[in-house]
Structure 1
Amino acid sequence: MVSHGEYEVSDSDYAVRIVLMTKVFGIDSAERYFEGLPLTAKTTETYTALLHSYAGAKLTEKAEDLYEKIKESKLSLSALTYNEMMTMYMSVGQVEKVSLVVEELKRQKVAPDIFTYNLWISSCAATLKIDQVQQILDEMRYDLGFGEDWERYINLTNIYVSVGHLVNAESNSLVEAEKGITQREWITYDFLIILHAGLGNKDRIDQIWKSLIMTRQKMTSRNYICILSSYLMLGQLKEVGEVIDQWKQSTTTDSVVSACKRLLNAFTDVGFTEKAHDFKMLLIQKNCDPTNSLE
């Protein structure tokens, strides 16, 4: 905390100013403000605030450089710093890097929070690593920091993972459970789509997807992979074709190569040969040619 005349400015105050400066004046102003702070004010909170600004602007290189500097500083970090990096990697389509951040968090013995777990699970779902999702859920279950709310959350997610053993797909248990989980806990709508796919709730998936495409938010390849995977799981050939057409018409150019390859294989495995061809052409159009690895 630094004294300014008759009042003291806390670390949180500095952090808020960095975020506000980014929004009002841009990243450059926020950087200059951070660099001008006294050494005692360059704390976990202010470093993380600048990292948040970089991540929000998808300035991957700058975020990674700052992340390394933060690690070298030997400051005591919370899950928030790692979550910022995970969120950025999800948003720019570098999903495979999420697990590396989790590994670093664990090496430093930092306790993960619900955002950490949700981002981690979402990254695994985006790359179709369903077995790993189950392992993460088991870890959550034995985390002493979780209470009854977390238990309900885990049970809800397990419905998707063990979809083959589902017996109450027509129940409204998910709808009721959603009311008990705050919106703040749902990091991505992708994750919600996956849960509904596990329950066989096609109508709800349709509603969520329609809402998403009506927003001004630019879709990423992760969003398209998620909805395609869900419709594929439910055997909805018509909807698969519609989403492929939407992706073709979009300006989205980022690609999660490993996930795209797995999804292409999945199309072939379930006999959607024509759609597999369409999807392969789409990947080539989006500069993600899978030919060398898949044929």
Structure 2
Amino acid sequence: MKKLLLRWTPWQINNTNSGICRVSTFISSFYSTGTLAASSPALSSSLYRRISSVEYPTASISPVLDQWLEQGKDVEQSELRSFIKILRKFNRPKHALEISEWMENQASHSLSHGDAAVKLDLISKVYGIEQAEEYFNAIPSDLKHYKVYGSLLNCYAKKKSLEKAEAIMQKMRELDFTKSPLPYNVMLNLYSQLGEQEKLRLLMQEMEEKDISCDRFTLNIMLNAHIGASNVEGMENLLTKMEADPNVVVGWNAYGTVANGYMKAGLTEKALIMLKRLEQIISGKKGKLAYEILLTSYAAAGKREEVYRIWNLYKNMKKTYNSGYLCMISSLLKLDDIPGAEKILEEWESRHKFSDARIRNTMIRGYCKKGLLEKAEEYVNKLAENGKVLNADTWECLATGYKLENKMDKAVETMKKALLASQPERRSSPFTLAACLDYLKSREDLEEATAFLRLTRERGILSVDVYERLLNYINDGNLSSKAVDVIMEGSEWSFHGKTGA
């Protein structure tokens, strides 16, 4: 019997609030057109360089592709699929969808099951689940492969739309599309996130009755389900069972998951023991991921010296990645090592040609949280002077900084910039947005408040229901109420933003 390797990813150690494994991050990759090898020529092609240089989210990529054909050059369908995969990896769904649609419109390119599944996922991310449903219904029956159904199932799971996910899962049963553990993993992960322990147990029982073997993701979900339920004993028992099973290879990733569970339970010493075990068995191409996990884990444990030690080991690898710099900067900010974070940021800026807004925004957010608003402003101004595209997250980070310092005039103006740069249904902080509305209402500037609120609706940040509630709130004259309460009173999916402060 083939041995099983349990995998784990760095966001799991960061997501200590829930302890739930977002396996949909992995699962969505299964409903794709294939795996892009690290050595793929797509990464070095001149066409990809042209595409990757289009940084602004609202800029169109189609002209780049059209120009390529006009110059008498060909583009293979496999190459376009590689571009889509890369853009998905770097969280550029709009551009990935544009390439998908361009590919579909070319007569020489026929659409496969995997192409339809990927496009469905991208439509959900860019335009929302309703548009994805419309696309699904329009897909010809001969293309409605299990991958397409699985993609829609995954979209519902990401939105935590339980009833719709269960309905699609039942349809997949009827079509005999549930022979693998993949759709079960999607539902198990959803049940774990929603705390539906009994449904999770029954689904595991169904897998056993149908003789559907657990894969690494199934085991990962179960480990994280124990963590989410604060069941340290259950987590330990499962790890012991895995270690005793000759058909399961317990990799460094599993020990990282257990370390996360111990950290959440406040058992730091036990967590450190797991991290040492993790480090001892790092090997192969996934070493960079393991080191990134260690960086964030040791920072969470308050071990500054260990963070720098792991960073030095990481840099001894052949290549350092944006994700590594992001982990290191985040870790140092967590440890209040601002000078250290600035030094790593300077190193990253000097070595990496292609920018990564996540790293810049992490530094800006760190400055604001530490009360270093002037430094945040200086850095944003420097980026603008150097011609960098400042996205919605950049402006919102700065707006939140102004809010924390009670500089509300600047907070409102900066939040406007964030809204203007926003993509449809972009995730946003209800707290900063609400503070801006409260401020405008307190000034009795109803015209400005209404214009600000209208902008949030135009950018798809608020549902119609929440928008109308806030419009009534602005006009009611009651200064004792708060906009954030109005937002939170809306249904779970009315506001497309984060719930954290």
TM-score, length-scaled by structure 2: 0.33
Find the counterpart in structure 2 of residue 173 from structure 1: 276
Q: Which amino acid aligns with 2:201?
A: S
Question: Does the aligned pair in 1 maintain the 2:242–2:248 contact within 8 Å?
Answer: yes
Distance 1:99 1:14, change over 3 A: same
- Cα deviation, residue 47, structure 1: 0.7
Indicate which of 16, 21, 28 corresponds to 2:123: 21
Unaligned runs of 5+ in 1: 219-250, 254-295
Distance 1:139 1:35, change over 3 A: farther
Find the counterpart in structure 2 of residue 11 from structure 1: 113
Alignment of 1:46-195 (within 5 A): 46-141=148-243, 146-147=248-249, 150-153=250-253, 173=276, 176=279
The CA distance in 1 between the partners of 2:205 and 2:287, in whole Å, is 27
The CA distance in 1 between the partners of 2:213 and 2:257, in whole Å, is 21
Distance 1:172 1:76, change over 3 A: closer
The CA distance in 1 between the partners of 2:248 and 2:148, in whole Å, is 28
Question: Does the aligned pair in 2 maintain the 1:141–1:151 contact within 8 Å?
Answer: no
Distance 1:24 1:99, change over 3 A: same
Q: Which amino acid aligns with 1:43?
A: H
- Cα deviation, residue 67, structure 1: 1.2
- Cα deviation, residue 32, structure 1: 1.8
Q: Which amino acid aligns with 2:196?
A: Q
Distance 1:144 1:13, change over 3 A: farther
Give RMSD over aligned pairs.
Answer: 5.0
- Is 2:134 aligned against 1:32? yes
Name the SS of the counterpart of 2:230 in structure 1. Answer: coil
The CA distance in 2 between the partners of 1:87 and 1:157, in whole Å, is 15
- Cα deviation, residue 139, structure 1: 4.4
The CA distance in 1 between the partners of 2:218 and 2:128, in whole Å, is 27
Find the counterpart in structure 2 of residue 223 from structure 1: none
- Cα deviation, residue 34, structure 1: 1.5
Distance 1:202 1:76, change over 3 A: same
Name the SS of the counterpart of 2:142 in structure 1. Answer: helix
Count residues with an aligned counterpart: 210
The CA distance in 1 between the partners of 2:147 and 2:163, in whole Å, is 20
Distance 1:89 1:41, change over 3 A: same
Find the counterpart in structure 2 of residue 222 from structure 1: none
| 1:143-185 per-position Cα deviation (integer Å, ceiling 9, x unaligned) | 56544xx355556667878x99x89957961572596566879
Percent of residue pairs identical: 25
Question: Does the aligned pair in 2 maintain the 1:11–1:46 contact within 8 Å?
Answer: yes
Q: Which amino acid aligns with 2:279?
A: E
The CA distance in 1 between the partners of 2:244 and 2:274, in whole Å, is 28
Distance 1:102 1:183, change over 3 A: farther
- Cα deviation, residue 105, structure 1: 2.7
Question: Does the aligned pair in 2 maintain the 1:55–1:88 contact within 8 Å?
Answer: yes
The CA distance in 2 between the partners of 1:27 and 1:146, in whole Å, is 37
The CA distance in 2 between the partners of 1:129 and 1:101, in whole Å, is 20
Name the SS of the counterpart of 1:9 in structure 2. Answer: coil
The CA distance in 2 between the partners of 1:141 and 1:69, in whole Å, is 36
Distance 1:6 1:154, change over 3 A: closer
Question: Does the aligned pair in 1 maintain the 2:223–2:258 contact within 8 Å?
Answer: no
The CA distance in 1 between the partners of 2:333 and 2:214, in whole Å, is 29
Unaligned runs of 5+ in 2: 1-105, 305-330, 335-361, 370-396, 398-426, 430-487, 491-501
Distance 1:173 1:142, change over 3 A: closer
Distance 1:43 1:121, change over 3 A: same
| 1:36-80 per-position Cα deviation (integer Å, ceiling 9, x unaligned) | 223332222111100111111121111111111112221243332
The CA distance in 1 between the partners of 2:202 and 2:333, in whole Å, is 30
Distance 1:31 1:97, change over 3 A: same
Question: Does the aligned pair in 2 maintain the 1:27–1:53 contact within 8 Å?
Answer: yes
Distance 1:175 1:112, change over 3 A: closer
The CA distance in 2 between the partners of 1:209 and 1:78, in whole Å, is 42
The CA distance in 2 between the partners of 1:9 and 1:140, in whole Å, is 41
Q: Which amino acid aligns with 1:54?
A: Y
Question: Does the aligned pair in 1 maintain the 2:117–2:147 contact within 8 Å?
Answer: yes
Question: Does the aligned pair in 2 maintain the 1:12–1:45 contact within 8 Å?
Answer: yes
| 1:104-123 per-position Cα deviation (integer Å, ceiling 9, x unaligned) | 33333223222221111111
